[in-house]
Chain A
Amino acid sequence: MMKRDIVIIGGGPAGLAAAISCFENGNRDILILERETYLGGILNQCIHNGFGLHTFKEELTGPEYAGRYVDKVRDLGIDYRLDTMVIDINQEKVVSAINEKDGLLQIQAKAVILAMGCRERSRGALNIPGYRPAGIFSAGTAQRYVNIEGYMPGKQVVILGSGDIGLIMARRMTLEGAKVKMVCEIMPYSGGLKRNIVQCLDDYGIPLKLNHTVTKIFGKERVTGVNVSEVDPATRMPIPGTEEYVACDTLLLSVGLIPENELSRKAHVKINPKTQGPEVDESLSTSIPGIFAAGNVLHVHDLVDFVSQEAALAGKFAVKYIAGLSQDGSAVAVEPQNGVRYSVPSRIHPGNAEDITVIRFRTDNVYRDVFLSVYLDEERVMHLKKRILTPGEMEQVNIPKKWITDRPGLSRIRILVEKE
């Protein structure tokens, strides 16, 4: 069996940043396994600009952002295998993968970093009545057709869901000559960035219909149209009599992303039901010692810069773990409460923590003129005025290690939204 100190599952932004960090923290026995024929992951199809403002202080396109990390991985001579599909990871950190050249590969790792990213929610998750005609795509699939393969998936388009990929594809399809008739959003607000609503929809006169959803798909061989209905904001149920027929040949779905954790489950990694990603501590260590996770496999991020930061930290801690420098000891729980839907990490071992632990989270609704508070047990230590908090934007608070070490017996850190 092949042996490697660190095996990284996935060669997208998380896997690349993790690998570079492992190398820079002193461990060079690294292998990246990537199922695609190229490194860089989903960034390769995100050809629009707006990436990397935090990391590089300039606006890059997705391929350019990925390119910087790919170049670095190659310059450092970090080993990677493409076209290689990982099919199993076990608790002993044996990674099984297949590709055309090696056949079945089995690798005994000392540490594994999960960096598989996420995938899109599909039509099957939505229960929209109708036949199963051609012409229904997830927005990311359409993005791949247009930007990687060079094919147009349709001419008359309705988009369901106003997440950023849906908004980006509304503009992209329009620029390539399609007529995008509308974007429907079941919620009373969009999950996408304001910038994308203005520059992808308003610029091209594409209507955004909030509190609307698709209630029926017409067409047997190919989509011929959809019914769009208004929903009651309280129940999110369609209001009878409001349905409007919209002729189209294509329906794009941009209805959420789900961390891709089939492999994590095989290794019996504990999954957080809120994020659908592994539960991790300050070291990005999962419930299985030596298995780490970072990026969209852990929780869906809004900006790739934060994926890179998180993955670099996972790489650093993986190196530390192999060197036997991890000191778990007792942990303090991080509990999202009132208005905070989830938090990553979910516990902090002060013995391992960096001077500052970044806790990332999202709220469960849009809140205006509120306070974001952090409590150490019952003591409020942070009280930030926020003009707006929205589920579409990831938030973060920095927890100094000193807060924990100064308070022996501290049991939990609570993060919540408060009116005053």
Chain B
Amino acid sequence: MKETRQLTCISCPMGCPLTVEMEDGVITNVLGYTCRRGEEYARKEVTNPRRTLTSVIPVLHGEIDMVSVKTRTDIPKAMVRECILALKNLEIEAPVVIGQVIVHDLCGTGVDLIATKAVRRNNP
């Protein structure tokens, strides 16, 4: 089955409009790029798009109320929604250190969710 995908290149401010032609899931042609980075971006974005997910979760007994978190590396773009929903009822006890693992292997992505901010414990 033939299909085409329209993309905007993000490699530089030019923002070249890219067209990727595919047949049975295999790339047959890439059009519209004006440099090699554009072609590479198009191929990766069509075959294996990935994103880093960032959010915040509540901290208990911390000096601040929310701690920022991220997936340690990027995760498949198609799993962003499932992963953000999995954060919904999370909370963590202070203290928190930068890089601390909050969730191991988030939703089977093989990627840990880690803290990106240090939070000291609030002394009562």
Contacts and interface: CB of A to CB of B under 8 A. Distances in A.
Whether chains A and B associate is yes
B118 A67 contact: yes
A72 B68 CA distance: 21
B70 A150 contact: no
Contacts of B1: none
Nearest to A195: B10
Nearest to B51: A199
Contacts, number: 76
B117 A44 contact: yes
B15 A47 contact: no
Interface centre among B13, B51, B70 (most CB of A within 10 A): B13
A194 B8 contact: yes
Interface in B36-89: 51-52, 54-56, 58, 64-66, 68, 70, 77, 80, 84
B54 to A, nearest CB: 5
A47 B116 contact: yes
A49 B54 contact: yes
A392 B84 CA distance: 30
A195 B12 CA distance: 8
Contacts of A49: 52, 54, 70
Contacts of A199: 10, 51
Interface residues of A, number: 32
Size category of the binding interface on chain B? 20 to 34
Contacts of B118: 67
Interface string A130-157: 0000000000000000111110000000
A61 B65 contact: no
A193 interface: yes
B90 interface: no
B68 A61 contact: yes
A162 B102 CA distance: 33
Interface string A192-225: 0111011100110000000000000000000000
B64 A148 contact: yes
Interface in A353-410: 387-388, 390, 392-393
A63 interface: yes
A61 B51 contact: no
Given A175-B84, A203-B77, A147 B68 contact: yes
Given A47-B55, A148-B66, A392-B13, A63 B117 contact: yes
Contacts of B52: 49, 59
B20 interface: no
Contacts of A38: 64
Contacts of A388: 12-14
A202 B77 CA distance: 12
B9 A194 contact: yes
Interface in A156-203: 175-176, 193-195, 197-199, 202-203
A393 B12 CA distance: 10
Interface string B17-38: 0000000000000000010000
A38 B118 CA distance: 11
A88 interface: no
B92 interface: no
Contacts of B98: 63-64, 67
Given A61-B70, A148-B64, A198 B10 contact: yes
A197 B15 CA distance: 10
A195 B54 CA distance: 16
Contacts of B84: 175
A266 interface: no
A146 B57 CA distance: 10
A390 B13 contact: yes
A48 B68 CA distance: 9
A61 B64 contact: no
B55 A150 contact: no
Contacts of A147: 56, 66, 68
Nearest to A50: B52
Interface string A318-350: 000000000000000000000000000000000
B51 A202 contact: no
Interface string A263-290: 0000000000000000000000000000
Contact of B66 (A67, A150, A194, A392): A150
Interface string A232-264: 000000000000000000000000000000000
What are the 3 closest A-B residue pairs judged by CB atoms, nearest first? A47-B68, A63-B117, A195-B10
29 contacts: A38-B64, A47-B68, A49-B52, A49-B70, A60-B116, A61-B54, A61-B116, A62-B68, A63-B98, A63-B116, A64-B117, A67-B98, A67-B118, A147-B56, A148-B65, A149-B66, A150-B56, A175-B55, A175-B80, A193-B13, A194-B12, A194-B13, A197-B8, A198-B8, A199-B10, A202-B8, A387-B14, A388-B12, A392-B13
Interface of B: 7-10, 12-15, 34, 51-52, 54-56, 58, 64-66, 68, 70, 77, 80, 84, 98, 116-118
Given A61-B54, A147-B56, 8 more contacts: A47-B68, A148-B64, A148-B66, A175-B80, A176-B55, A194-B10, A198-B7, A388-B12
